[in-house]
Structure 1
Amino acid sequence: MASIHEQPRVILWSVPRSCTTAVLRSISNLVERGEIYYEPYYKALVGGPESESASTPAPRATAILPSAGSAYDSSIFTYAWVKKTLEAEHKDASLVFVKDFAMSLAGKVYMDHLPHGYRHTFLIRNPNKVIPSWRKCHDEWRPSKPLLDEEAKEEWHKADMGEHAGFKDLLELYQYVRENLDPAPFVMDADDLVSQPETVMAAYCKATGIPFSRKLIEWENDGSPMYAKWITCRDHLGYLNCNYHTNARSSSGFRKNEDLPKPASTSVTNPKAIEQIAKCVPYYEKLYRERFVP
C-alpha cells in the first residue's frame, strides 16, 4: 500500500460512463504538481499504431480548443510507450494519477504492459445506468454520415461497446490485480460516490496514499478547461467538449443523481439495450460485493 510519505501512483479503472471524468476533475483540483493521465491505454487500443480498429474522428475541431497541459499525437501511443511513460521518474510530481478503461487492455493481451509501482483502483456503476448513457453518447459523436437505420445503429453500438460493455474486462482485471499485485484492490461504486462523496473519497485517499482535502469534493468552477492539467492525446480534446461531459465540465463538486439534469424518460425500453444490460449485470454484481461500503 502506498505511503503518504511517498509519491502516490494510482490508476482508476472503469467502464465508460461511470463518473470517472468527475473523479479526474476532483483529483485535478487537489494537486498543483500532479501528473494526470487521461486514458492513455484506451488511445493505444483505438487510435495508436497497434490499434486493430479505425479511430473515430474527433467530433469537434481540436485545433480551436484550448490545449490540455500535455497533448500528444496518437502516433506515439503504443502499449510499450504508455508503460514506459507511466513508469518514468516524474520527480517533480506530488502525485501520478491515471484514468483508463479495463477494456483498453484487450482482454488479457496487454496485462503485461501494466506499469510497475501503481496502486490499482476500480470505479463501478450499475449497467442500467451505463448502457443507456453510452448509447446516447453515440448519437452525438458517431462519424458524420447519412442517418443510420435502426439495424445500422445497433451494429455501431455493438462494435464500440462490445458484448459486455467492458464489465467482463473490468472484473478480469480486478481478479488479476487481486491475485498478482494487491490482495485488496479498492473498489467504489458511482452511486455511493455521488451520495456520500466525503466518506467515499476519504476512504479512497486512505487506501491510495493521496492526501485528503475537501477540495476533492467541492471546488470552484473558474471556467478554465477541466483538462488543462491532463496529459492526453490531441484526439481526446474534442470528446472532452462534447455534451455528455457537460455535467463534469460545469461541476463544482459531486452531485446526487436527483440533482443532475435528466432526459425526458429514463426507462430502458430498447430490447437490445435490455439484453446487453442483462449480460453485464453478473460481472457488475461480483464487483459490487467487493466495493467499499460507506
Structure 2
Amino acid sequence: MESKSQIPRIFFWVLPRTCSTVFTKLISFVDGAQIWLEPYDCCFQTKFMLDADSHTPEMEGWCRSMFEATRLVSEGKSPYSGKMHPIRTSVSYSWVKSELEKEEPGKNFIFIKDHASAVVSHLDALPDNVPCRHVFLIRHPAKALSGLRRYALRRSTADPDKFDLRTTPMYSKVWDQHYEFWKYVKEHLDPDALIVDTDDILNKPLEVLPKLFQQLNIPWKDSYLKWPKSDDIVREWKGVEDHFLRGMLTKVFDQAIASECLLPSKPLENLEDMSKDIQELSKQYMPAYEEMYAQSI
C-alpha cells in the first residue's frame, strides 16, 4: 500500500528527437526535483548492443560510441561523475525497479525521463507500491522522424542513399510502442495519464507548462523558463554515467545540456520534399499522433 509520505514518481515517456532533454534540464531546476535519465533505455540499449545480430551497418557507429563511453568512464576520464551509476553492464531492469522504489529524502518528486520502447516488454520492471504519474511527449511525426533520420545518418556507415528508417532495428517500432504503451498505461496504471506536444511546449510555454504543472500538483514559477547554461546540474541527475556520456559523444544531448531556455520550433517542412521513408512513416503514424494530440494539454 502507498504511504502518504511517499513522493510521486513522474514518468516522462518520450520519443527520439522531441527536445525531451531540454525539458528535462528545465525540470532539474524545479524546487524539490530529482531527475533520472533513461534508466530503462540504458538497459534496453545494453541488451541491444550485446546482441551480435543487431550490429548492422546502420548501427555500427552507435555501438562504437557505446564502447568508447564505457572505456572513458572506466578510466576515470568522464567529466560527469556525480550521482549516476558508472557502467551500464552492471545495471539491469530489476535494479532500475528497485532504485525507483526507494525514497528521496528532501525531494518533492522523482522525474524519470525515458522511452516507452524500452519498457513495453518489461512491464514487471515498473515500480510497485509507490505513487506514479505518467506523461507522454508527442510531436508531429514528420518533424520528429526527419530529425531522427539526420541524427542516425551521422552515426551510420551505410550508404546515405540506401539508409531507411523503416528497416533500422533501433528505431523502426518506437512510435507504435509509444502509442501502445500509452493505451496500456491509461487502462491499467494511470487513467489520468497526460499528453504534451513538443511544439506546443516550445511555442506556448507559458500556456502549456503551468497547466501541466497544475495537473501534476507542482507549483509553477515563471522563473523556471530560464536556467543556467552550465552542465553542473547533470552531476545531480541519476541514471548511468556511460549511457549519458555516449549521448554527449554522439551529440544527442549536447545542445540540450548547453541550453538556458526554450526556443521556438521551426516550421514544419513540406512532407513531399522529405525522403520516402519519412513520407511513409509519417503517414503511417499520423492517426495515432492525431488521437493523442486531441487529448493533449
Q: TM-score, normalised by structure 1?
A: 0.82
CA distance in 1, matches of 2:38, 2:284: 25
State the 1:252 CA deviation: 1.8
CA distance in 1, matches of 2:165, 2:185: 33
CA distance in 2, matches of 1:238, 1:100: 16
Aligned residues of 1:44 and 1:51 also touching (Cα < 8 A): no
CA distance in 1, matches of 2:29, 2:218: 13
Looking at secondary structure, tell me which structure has more helix per residue. Answer: 2
Aligned in 2, Cα 1:256/1:68: closer, same or farther, shift over 3 Å? farther
SS at match of 2:220: coil
Q: Among the aligned pairs, what percent are the same residue?
A: 24
State the 1:266 CA deviation: 9.1
Aligned residues of 2:231 and 2:257 also touching (Cα < 8 A): no
- 1:13 equivalenced with 2:23 (yes/no): no
| Corresponding position of 1:169 | 177
CA distance in 2, matches of 1:68, 1:74: 14
- 1:154 equivalenced with 2:158 (yes/no): no
- 1:70 equivalenced with 2:95 (yes/no): no
Per-residue CA deviation, residues 47-97 of structure 1 (Å, 9 max, x unaligned), is: 159965567232765444411532321123211111111111222323211
Aligned in 2, Cα 1:287/1:215: closer, same or farther, shift over 3 Å? same
| Corresponding position of 2:123 | 111
| Corresponding position of 1:216 | 224
SS at match of 2:102: coil
| Corresponding position of 1:228 | 235
The number of equivalent residue pairs is: 277
| Corresponding position of 1:141 | 155
Aligned residues of 2:142 and 2:278 also touching (Cα < 8 A): no
Per-residue CA deviation, residues 120-179 of structure 1 (Å, 9 max, x unaligned), is: 11111111111111111113334xxxx4324763379622211x4x22111111111111
State the 1:6 CA deviation: 6.3
Aligned in 2, Cα 1:272/1:156: closer, same or farther, shift over 3 Å? closer
CA distance in 2, matches of 1:248, 1:267: 29
State the 1:258 CA deviation: 4.2
CA distance in 2, matches of 1:240, 1:159: 22
Match of 1:95 among 99, 109, 132: 109
Alignment of 1:23-102 (within 5 A): 23-31=23-31, 34-48=33-47, 52=51, 56-58=63-65, 61=69, 62-63=72-73, 64-72=77-85, 73-102=87-116
CA root-mean-square deviation? 3.1
- 1:204 equivalenced with 2:198 (yes/no): no
State the 1:22 CA deviation: 0.9
Structure 1's unaligned 5+ residue stretches are none
SS at match of 1:255: coil
CA distance in 1, matches of 2:64, 2:224: 33
SS at match of 2:296: coil
State the 1:36 CA deviation: 1.0
CA distance in 2, matches of 1:210, 1:48: 35
Per-residue CA deviation, residues 257-288 of structure 1 (Å, 9 max, x unaligned), is: 149xx99x997431122112222222211211
Aligned in 2, Cα 1:57/1:92: closer, same or farther, shift over 3 Å? farther
CA distance in 1, matches of 2:227, 2:36: 20
Aligned residues of 1:48 and 1:76 also touching (Cα < 8 A): no
